[in-house]
Amino acid sequence: MNYFKKILSINNKKDIPSNVKPEKAREIHLNTLTFEALKEEITKTFGSTADLQSDIFRFGKSEGCIYYLETVVNTEMLKEMLGSTLQNSDEEISVNTVEDLHRLSKKSFGVSGYKLIDCVKDMVTSILEGRIVIVFRGVSQALSLSYINSEGRSVTEPTTQTVVRGPKDSFVEDVSTNINLVRKRIKNQNLRFEKYEIGNETRTSVYMGYMNGIVNEKILEETRIRLKDINISAIFESANVEELIVDKSLTVFPLALNTERPDAVATYMLEGKIAIIIDGSPFVLVVPAVLTDFFTSPEDNYQNYFMSSFVRLIRYISFMIGLIMPSAYVGVLTFHPELLPTTLLLSVIAQREDVPFPAVVEVLLMEITFEILREAGVRMPRAVGQTVSIVGALVIGQAAAEAGIISNIMVIIVAITAIANFVFPNYAFANASRLIRFVLIIVASILGLYGVLLVLVFMVAHLSSLRSFGVPYLAPVAPFIIEDQKDVFIRAPIWSMNKRPSYLSPNISQKQKAQGSPSPPKVEGEGKKK
């Protein structure tokens, strides 16, 4: 460790010439600087950046200076504002004191969210945030106005969590649009968002959203502390925040949910969970997350509950298939041929007659090929997508079997494993099972099904040791909570789910009054018949 540190520190000294140092905004009060000195200070802080504008203008009798970054400010709106407010103003007006500035702000910008600042550091922050800052000569406060150019991707359909029936909007990179999408769904004064700035260099806005009064105070406080404690230079994606705030554990399982669906976020918040929205990322984090959350899709609530329950069962089954199918193949074929029905075993033996490799090599070969294909499919440029699918079908398909490298049954195993892995509503969880699958294959080749079982026992032990913001990861299955079972393996009718999940210990656990589904209206007179 020390050795590496040494190397790094030496390199650092060599790389940065001593005369250039990163600029820092100084905490100087505005009344200590003259109009010109302030302008010099700001230009010096920003250095040689090309997009900083600092223009001096006349406003009535007084002189002012406007600072902004032209690349982040909406110049159209700015021009309009300058035109209407400043130039059409009375020739006699003057802004010489702080009171004048206050009066002007109230009169002209009262509704547009102005901010008065009196420190150079705050000025720099405002400019960086995309606001414009106006300073009048002789006034010890500056006026900061929001003209952020909020151009970005418009709201589109989700790309990773699609539904057949249900809302088709998804989060975008812009944080205020995202909050808007949630607010539109929950019109409630108890929906609160707390703002944090994370990233020493990037100063990314991170919003923590929760339902006041529903969310458990302890979990909320814990999340607050963890967000505040983040000390990192840059944040670009919610995944960065996720890694910094989840409970410290060596695990492949995701301990925070991420979703790009506003309806999912709203549902989770109303259950008592906390959403963390990061500027610049269309994926919103939801904490605390438990294992069973990864098996539920927002669409479960939008379709018939029998169907939803069935689909959930399918998800759990496919999780197991994706996890153990290849290793079970290896284990059964090399250690326990007695487990197969005779006819199937004979057919497998006949098929494997010409395969030159042991079963484990065959499986690893195919699984790695599939992982390569999959990675290629994600990373490659869209234009060459066709090529990969055609070549891929050859590599893990009939052609490979005909070439005598693998048996026909192996093609089926790889295919069913791959498909089972795509069933998950949440991509992060599918990745976890991908990794464990390889461990299982190798162990199965050494210890057979006994080894598979051994790894699964270890996996369950590991899962039950995990916590997400203090909530046991396997809740409500272990610890088993009977009243939470309505929304775990089955999805009960929505009118019967009157309580919020109790493993989150929400402040108010009752969602709504207990009720039943409506019955057909009684025909008049029918009840009176005897």
Q: Minimal distance in Å, beta carbon 451 to other proteins?
A: 8
Work out whether 519 is an interface residue with other proteins (CB under 8 A).
Answer: no
Work out whether 56 is an interface residue with other proteins (CB under 8 A).
Answer: no
Restricted to residues 357-396, the positions that interact with other proteins (CB under 8 A) are 358-359
Q: How far apart are CA 428 and CA 160, in angstroms?
A: 11
> What are the phi and psi torsion angles at 316 (to 5°)?
-65, -40
Question: Closest by alpha carbon to 276, among 333, 202, 223, 353?
Answer: 223
For residues 335 and 503, which CB has a smaller minimum distance to other proteins in the complex? 335
Work out whether 353 is an interface residue with other proteins (CB under 8 A).
Answer: yes
For residues 331 and 476, which CB has a smaller minimum distance to other proteins in the complex? 331
Work out whether 350 is an interface residue with other proteins (CB under 8 A).
Answer: yes
For residues 337 and 385, which CB has a smaller minimum distance to other proteins in the complex? 337
Work out whether 449 is an interface residue with other proteins (CB under 8 A).
Answer: no
For residues 17 and 341, which CB has a smaller minimum distance to other proteins in the complex? 341
Q: Minimal distance in Å, beta carbon 349 to other proteins?
A: 4
> What are the phi and psi torsion angles at 18 (to 5°)?
-70, -20
Number of residues that bind other proteins (CB under 8 A): 23
Is the alpha carbon torsion for 68, 74, 79, 82 positive or negative? negative
Q: Minimal distance in Å, beta carbon 456 to other proteins?
A: 15
Q: Minimal distance in Å, beta carbon 231 to other proteins?
A: 24
Residues 6+ positions from 184 with CB-CB distance below 8 Å: 262
Site of tokens 């919103």: 284
Phi-psi group of 60: left, alpha or beta (phi > 0 → left; psi -120 to 50 → alpha; rest → beta):
left
Work out whether 275 is an interface residue with other proteins (CB under 8 A).
Answer: no
Cα atoms in the 13 Å half-sphere on the side-chain side of 495: 5
Work out whether 508 is an interface residue with other proteins (CB under 8 A).
Answer: no
Asked if residue 424 lies in contact with residue 312, where contact means CB atoms within 8 angstroms, the answer is no
Give CA separation, 12 vs 17, 234, 311, in Å. 10, 19, 55
Site string for other proteins, 417-446 (x = CB under 8 A): --------------------------x--x
Task: Give the CA angle between residues 437, 438, 442 to the nearest 5°.
Answer: 120
Q: Minimal distance in Å, beta carbon 418 to other proteins?
A: 23
Q: How far apart are CA 277 and CA 181, in angstroms?
A: 12
Binding test (CB under 8 A) with other proteins, winner from 176, 334, 485, 505: 334
Q: How far apart are CA 388 and CA 375, in angstroms?
A: 11
Q: How far apart are CA 512 and CA 253, in angstroms?
A: 33
Work out whether 348 is an interface residue with other proteins (CB under 8 A).
Answer: yes
Q: Minimal distance in Å, beta carbon 406 to other proteins?
A: 13
> What are the phi and psi torsion angles at 420 (to 5°)?
-60, -30
Q: Minimal distance in Å, beta carbon 282 to other proteins?
A: 36
Work out whether 337 is an interface residue with other proteins (CB under 8 A).
Answer: yes
Work out whether 342 is an interface residue with other proteins (CB under 8 A).
Answer: yes
Q: Minimal distance in Å, beta carbon 362 to other proteins?
A: 10
Asked if residue 363 lies in contact with residue 330, where contact means CB atoms within 8 angstroms, the answer is yes
In the complex, the residues that contact other proteins under the rule CB under 8 A are 333-335, 337-338, 342-343, 345-353, 355, 358-359, 443, 446-448
